[in-house]
Structure 1
Amino acid sequence: MVTQRRQAVSTVAFIDNYCQHYYSVFEDVRHFESFKFLHLGMLSEMARKSLPEIAKMAGLKDNQTLHHFLRDALWDVRRLREIRLWLTKMFIGEREIILCIDETGDQKKGKSTDYVTRQYIGNLGKTENGIVSVNAYGVVDGITYPLMFQIFKPKNRLKEGDKYKSKPQIAVEIIQELKEWGFKIKLVLADSLYGESGDVINWLEKLQLEFIVAIRSNHGVLMPPGSRKRYNRWKAYEQKLSHRQTETRYLREIIFGQRRRLRYYQISKTNTPDPTGDESWYIMTNLSIELSLNIAQLYSLRNWIEYGFKQVKSELGWADFRLTDYESIERWWEIIFCAYLLVSIQATFFQLHAQSSPTSTSEASSSTDSDSNISQHSQHPNWESGTTWKSALNNLRLIIQPYIFYCLIRSWLTVFNIPGMKRCFLKLINFMNDFRTDPVSFSLAS
């Protein structure tokens, strides 16, 4: 006799709808529920996303459930990644992406965690004890999408069966795999670690990809005998910054003998003849566009994206794992990328909603049910009308609040019988479930 698989416990409708795309990864319904609970916790307002706190917030009686799910449960993280990338590809469609390659690191105490050692942590700008990964993320219409990550395995921490790969080698593998997935890459942005790597540059050119990469101030260029290096005039432009007001920056082209296919530029905060190192950057590009200021604006996206990714890390709990084996850490990071994608997709949906929002009462009466529901939810005083990833996360956090609060106080309702309180909470949760946007399904259907 075949036992029918029971229905998974519901959380909040928009999370349940999104997670349903990954249902086939988990043979045990309890594992699928843990997957959903982790999404709930990662999207929550908790500053530290520890597993015990997520379990408490989700109303789980056993706080070891989530730890077991990450460390011992039988499910394939590669299959999860494949579905996430497939969803991303289907949702983005034929639109081109700007691909950013960057490494990110986090401090960790001791050496009990796999691949933790003293090494350079780029986002800290110094050598510390920590763990580092090489990450790839794309930008489409101003929204950042997570794509791939690979752990960097230092030589002194290699385990049996490991093969050492430098960060540039990992970056090449990621770019090749994304091309195999069929992502249409418009432009690649990377810092000097990759700009100074001949392997990375050679592969980008072999794949016929345009790029803008940082280079060191002492970057070497072969020049014919008798030729000289010259600097063009500074050109001013307004630099938009993701977290500060616009600044005036300056750019000039550096020509080694004569112009070549690869072009070199200096960007500075000042237009003095020789700006100091802290105020000056050097970039190399194979872009064919003639307007040099476009080069500066495009390259500036790298810093904007990098800042955005740091925000994502801090908001979703990238470094909050209390796990020591890499297989479990990889699962944690992959689920964070899934939650990251959920917010990116909803941010795009909010963009479309903002563009099509009715401007009059008569127009509002003819709006769709989905638009009407969002309009009602948007009356919350803390709802943000912006169309950024961060504003989307803020709004999603408002949607999940009633469910989380109910889970936290449910035990008290068994102690103090307050007539109607449970019923009112569940009614409010049902209102939140009216927010049932599933842009992925909409995209696939269209």
Structure 2
Amino acid sequence: GKIDQGIVSVNAYGVYEDVTLPLICKVFKPKSRLKPGDIYKTKTEIACEIIEELMDYGFTIKLVLSDSLYGESRRFIQTLNKHKLNWLLSIRSNHGVWLGPGQKVRANRWCAFERHFRLKKPEQRYIREIIFGTRRKITYWELTTDLKEMPEQSTSFVMTNLQGSRNTLKKEIGDLYGLRTWVEYGFRQCKQELGWTDYRLTHIEGIEKWWEVIFCVYLMISEQTEVLSRNTSSLEKNRENSKARKDTSPAVEKQEAIHDQWRYERGWKSVLNNMRLIIQPTLMLCVISSWLSVFPNQRLLGGLKQLAWQVSRYSLHYWDG
């Protein structure tokens, strides 16, 4: 659940390699804002509905990550287990587990592991298993960045139903759970870039519609990234075909090189920047079209149309998978 301008939303988003994808967003309505006929739903109930919807849509989910609000919800875990999903959930440090007579909670020794990042060098982190009585199918772990200070912001307790040897889990859990922080940060940055909180609406229905538009644009941009676009060979083939065409427009590569704001770096923001450049001529044409009907200028109109057509040939390839 995220709070934006006083409105709380429950968001589901996915990650495919290094690209975040928005899936579903639902507004949480506190009891004080319910209208006659509305049914109050907790955040975890909304999250369960989202899981059900995603499964109905046919999504294949490899792993579910969440914060402790949902990790402490029995209903949420039951929903995940119902669909036989793998999960890795944050829990509170005082998480309770039933123990048998004479059983105790013990923590194993800390083990160092490397936390891998997409754009940075690996960093050393630490992990240890917490055992409640005896080992179970569900395992519990504590992770931290600093054994001496144990900083609150970078120390986490998690539980998971992932199976495997303890050595394998120690190596995998740190990177897998680290995705939650990375994805949440990337998700927030991307939706804010598109104007997630720029609405001037007061009705929940209007806000939901605005967020739906943002999600659509977000998904469109994500689909243009290198990871989700067509494979490299297809891109090269299309570029060669573009060069071979005998028309008045320059090759796509040459057009890209001309615009001084074109970004060649990988990443979501680079794609967003380039798409904004591509639609600029069309937007300009739409803005001044009314004035051109008052003061006709065929040369200007024709030039803008030609420019818009040429730039439209940049088309960033849609994912067809």
Do both share a fold (TM > 0.5)? Answer: yes
Q: Whole-Å Cα distance in 2 between the matches of residues 428 and 229 of structure 1?
A: 70
| 1:314 counterpart residue number | 192
Q: SS state of the match for residue 378, structure 1?
A: helix
Greater Cα shift, 298-307 or 274-283: 274-283
Residue 296 (structure 2) pairs with residue 433 (structure 1) = no
Q: Structure 2 counterpart of 1:316, which letter? A: L
Match of 1:401 in 2: 280
Deviates further, 328-337 or 369-378: 369-378
Conserved 8 A contact 1:351-1:387:
no
- Look up the equivalent residue of 1:397 and give its one-letter code: R
Match of 2:219 among 341, 344, 363: 341
> Which of the residues 27, 30, 38 maps onto 1:162?
38
Residues 94-105 of structure 1: matches in 2 within 5 Å? Answer: 103-105=1-3
Return the offset for 1:353: 5.5
Which stretches in structure 1 are left out of the alignment for 5+ residues?
Answer: 1-102, 108-129, 359-363
Note the C-alpha offset of 1:417: 8.6
Q: How does 1:269-288 map to 2 (within 5 A)?
A: 269-272=145-148, 275-288=150-163
Query: CA shift at 1:244, angstroms?
Result: 7.2
TM-score (norm 2): 0.85
Q: Give distance in 2, aligned partners of 1:410 and 1:356.
A: 37
Which residue number in structure 2 is paired with residue 367 of structure 1?
A: 240
> Cα offset for 1:255?
1.4
Q: Tell me the secondary structure at the aligned position of residue 240 of structure 2.
A: coil
Q: State whether structure 2 residue 28 is matched by structure 1 residue 152.
A: yes
Alignment counterpart, residue 384 of structure 1, candidates 259, 263, 266: 263
Match of 1:112 in 2: none
What is the rounded CA distance, in whole Å, between the counterparts of 2:243 and 2:43 in structure 1?
45
RMSD of Structure 2 on Structure 1 (CA) = 3.0
Specify which of 282, 289, 312 is matched with residue 164 of structure 2: 289
Quick one: structure 1 residues 374 and 254, their matched pair in 2 at CA, closer, same or farther if it must change by over 3 Å? farther
SS in 2 for 1:284: strand
Aligned-pair distance for 1:105? 1.4
Pick one of 181, 190, 193 that aligns with 2:66: 190
Query: How many pairs align?
Result: 312
Q: Which residue is equivalent to 1:205?
A: 81
Aligned amino acid, residue 275 of structure 1: M
Runs of 5+ consecutive residues of structure 2 not aligned to the other structure: 246-250
What does the per-residue CA deviation read over 1:133-185, in whole Å, with 9 as the maximum and x for residues that have no partner? 11111122322222111110101111111101100000001101111111111
Cα distance change of structure 1 residues 310 and 429 upon mapping to structure 2, 3 Å threshold: same
Structure 1 match to 2:248: none
Indicate the SS of the match to 2:63: strand
After superposition, residues 8-157 of structure 1 pair within 5 angstroms as 103-107=1-5, 130-157=6-33
Under a length normalisation based on structure 1, what TM-score does the superposition of the two structures give? Answer: 0.63
Shift of residue 407 of structure 1? 4.3
| Residues 1:138 and 1:279: Cα distance change in structure 2 (over 3 Å) | closer
Separation of aligned partners in 2, 1:150 and 1:370? 46
Report SS of the residue matched to 2:8. strand
1:349/1:270 CA distance change after superposition, 3 Å: closer
Partners of 2:47 and 2:82 in 1: how far apart? Answer: 15
Work out whether residues 349 and 439 of structure 1, in 8 Å CA contact, stay in contact via their aligned partners in 2: no
CA distances 1:48-100 after superposition (whole Å, capped 9, x unpaired): xxxxxxxxxxxxxxxxxxxxxxxxxxxxxxxxxxxxxxxxxxxxxxxxxxxxx
Greater RCO structure (CA 8 Å; 6+ sep):
1
Partner AA of 1:209 in structure 2: L
Alpha carbons of structure 1 residues 398 and 311: separation in structure 2 relative to 1, 3 Å:
same
